[in-house]
Structure 1
Amino acid sequence: MTAEEKELQPEATAPEDHDDDDELEQEDEVVPQGQAKKKKKKKKPKKKSPTVKQSDPPRVGLTKLFPSGVYPEGEVVEYKDDNASRITSEEKRYNERMLQEDPNETYQNIRRAAEVHRQVRQYARKNIKPGMTMTSIVEMIEDSVRALVEEDGLNSGIAFPTGLSRNSCAAHYTPNAGDKNVLQANDVLKVDIGVHVKGKICDSAFTMNFEPTYDDLLKAVEDATNVGIRESGIDARLGEIGAAIQETMESYEVVVGGKTYPVKAMDNITGHSIEPYSIHGQKPIPMVATDDQTKMEEGEYFAVETFGSTGRGHLDEGGECSHYAWQQAPRAPLRLTSAQSLLKTINKNFGTLPFCRRYLDRLGESNYLLALNHLVSQGIVQDYPPLNDIKGSMTAQFEHTILLRPTCKEVVSRGEDY
């Protein structure tokens, strides 16, 4: 090419930048004669991944909301000063990273169960209203738990019957079939929900009231639970935690109809450690001062729960039983064929997890009371009747599940509501 020909060639220019959504045509290119002009392909807008949101009522399973298998962390709380060195320990931090990264380990399973709990309870707290039957309330809660945890036999599901204990009844009430009880505007309602994933249980409870008479009772119990969480940690002594809970709880009073009632901590019910497929582990957390010098240990997790009462602060069994749990294999062959059959159903569907009569109904069992009572009388199944303070008193409950990690404690069930 001669110098004159070079001067006649068009200068090369950089192409103009356009957004992906622009549909501007490319300017004509200079091409050799006889060749077809190439058309520039238009860029298609990038498709955004659809965002899955929870439905109302909640029915979208957690694995669809968190496809990575990583679930929200609970509230992280530093250990008290006597355990401060754990935060800077390279070994402890390494051990914790290993646990965090393994989706089959305790952390993600508990967090998945806790996130189910948070979403279900927040829906329940908005929708539970006076005038509803106990049965409609419990079905609203348990249908949501089953959907969100994506119930799968003993791999994931409800960890224990949903407690809906009212007023002087503090625990272990859930409606049986045919229950006609209706929530009243002046009731104090305890809602205790359990969720498990691969046997790792999230146990958390709250109390609702619908008029202000017992606001201070609820505040006393919630504060006591938070103090119990604050005092918990690696090497913390159980009896000392109980003393702190009692001191906080019993600093409150409730005025009802011009009469003042001291709030009393329950002396014969406790929080507890949690073990795989076992809601009540071997370490109880008392709500009153005791001489128990047993220590909490790294890697354990606990249900820190407190009950307060305007009554005597002591619970007795009474009322129609709904809660049961398998205890052990029979020492001798069962004489009732119906009991043998029912025991197989219990072992297959619940294992060591507590169950209630409604759950047996749901599985298609019928006319099973004789067989169930026989299993109880033989010590194979344990019954848990409702627990009540004196008539006319009011009780409240708050509870969180905490995990004692190597470098901190995690309140896995903590949410914006409590």
Structure 2
Amino acid sequence: MQSIIRPEMKLIDMCNILESKVKELVAAEGLKCGWGFPTGCSLNHCAAHYTPNPHDFTKLTQDDICKLDFGVQVNGMIIDCAFTVAFNDVFDPLIQSTLDATNTGLKVAGIDVMFSEIGSAIEEVIKSYEFEYKSKVYNIKPIKNLNGHSILPYHIHGGKSVPIIATNDDTRMEENEIYAIETFATTGRGYVTEGLDCSHYMKYYDNPFLNENSTRLNSAKILLGGINTHFGTLAFCRRWLDQLGFNKHALALKSLVDSEIIRPYPPLNDIPGSFSSQMEHTILLRPSCKEVVSRGDDF
């Protein structure tokens, strides 16, 4: 993908290319194998959870910084990874900060390691960088309310959060666990809030009535059946609903959200005018080694 992405490319085209390649490489077969979650391509002050909705033809420009966050799953085992793309070299220190921070997190992580050790090491690396933009120097800081996370079968967020700042969290990593070691850096305030125009959705894990549609809306019942069949508890996006033939799904989806069967995950934004970067790899803590399962020759 790094060789394909270019200025003036539509983000929706970029996502479709990547997702088509994932389907091809894993021979996608429903819930057995395929996409792990929607491809994120969050721009600039938006740090996470943005993918184009249908008819969103936003283009990547020469002066954007884009976080490309994508994943694949086989039998529910999800690999989660991300990198940051920019064409203007002014963003190099910001990108390098999360590259180095994630690699540091990968080195520190391991069986019996406390989360506090990982977060402290990551924060120290990110804060060692500065960003100069339009003759002004900014201190780069971690986004304190974004974290790495454990991964369980068909559950992208497995219940444990790996901080990217210093904390007193004495939780320890355990043998055979899978983690996404994920770092975010920003030139803004270091804290994200939810934005508008949601694109990411997922079923509630902890709702015992997940498959019981309490809505009276027939279209919502039909939509839930499609979600159960194609995504289960995996995250999905509105583009994918369109591709399945649910072209007029807005009202049905809102009904499922209002019924607390489906949970929305809106874009997560720092302050407008700021810039953010991300880097992520997935590790498996085997009894005898630590394996970075998302690592490749070029990433």
TM-score normalised by the chain length of structure 2: 0.97
1:337-352 → structure 2 map (5 Å cutoff): 337-352=218-233
1:16-415 → structure 2 map (5 Å cutoff): 124-327=1-204, 328=207, 329=209, 333-415=214-296
Aligned residue for 2:3, secondary structure, equals: helix
Q: Which one-letter code corresponds to 2:46 in the other structure? A: C
Deviations 1:230-273 (Å, cap 9, x if unpaired)?
A: 11000011122111110111111111122110111011111000
Q: How many pairs does the alignment contain?
A: 295
2:160 and 2:13 map into 1 onto residues whose CA distance is 35
Q: Measure how far apart 1:366 and its partner are.
A: 2.4
Aligned residue for 1:125, secondary structure, equals: coil
1:280 and 1:256 map into 2 onto residues whose CA distance is 35
Aligned-pair identity in percent equals 50
Aligned residue for 2:107, secondary structure, equals: helix
2:217 and 2:141 map into 1 onto residues whose CA distance is 45
- Does residue 416 of the first structure (1) align with residue 289 of the second (2)? no
The structure in which a higher percent of residues are strand is 2
Query: Which runs of 5 or more residues in structure 2 are unaligned?
Result: none
Structure 1 residues 323 and 332: alpha-carbon distance in aligned structure 2, compared to 1, 3 A threshold: closer
Aligned residue for 2:42, secondary structure, equals: coil
Structure 1 residues 314 and 289: alpha-carbon distance in aligned structure 2, compared to 1, 3 A threshold: same
Higher radius of gyration, 1 or 2? 1
Q: Measure how far apart 1:341 and its partner are.
A: 1.1
Query: Which runs of 5 or more residues in structure 1 are unaligned?
Result: 1-123
What corresponds to 1:73 in structure 2?
Answer: none
Structure 1 residues 332 and 177: alpha-carbon distance in aligned structure 2, compared to 1, 3 A threshold: closer
Aligned residue for 1:276, secondary structure, equals: coil
2:295 and 2:241 map into 1 onto residues whose CA distance is 32
Q: Measure how far apart 1:334 and its partner are.
A: 2.0
Q: Which one-letter code corresponds to 1:314 in the other structure? A: Y
Aligned CA RMSD, in angstroms, stands at 1.0
Higher relative contact order (CA 8 A, sep 6+): 2
2:67 and 2:181 map into 1 onto residues whose CA distance is 15
The structure in which a higher percent of residues are helix is 1
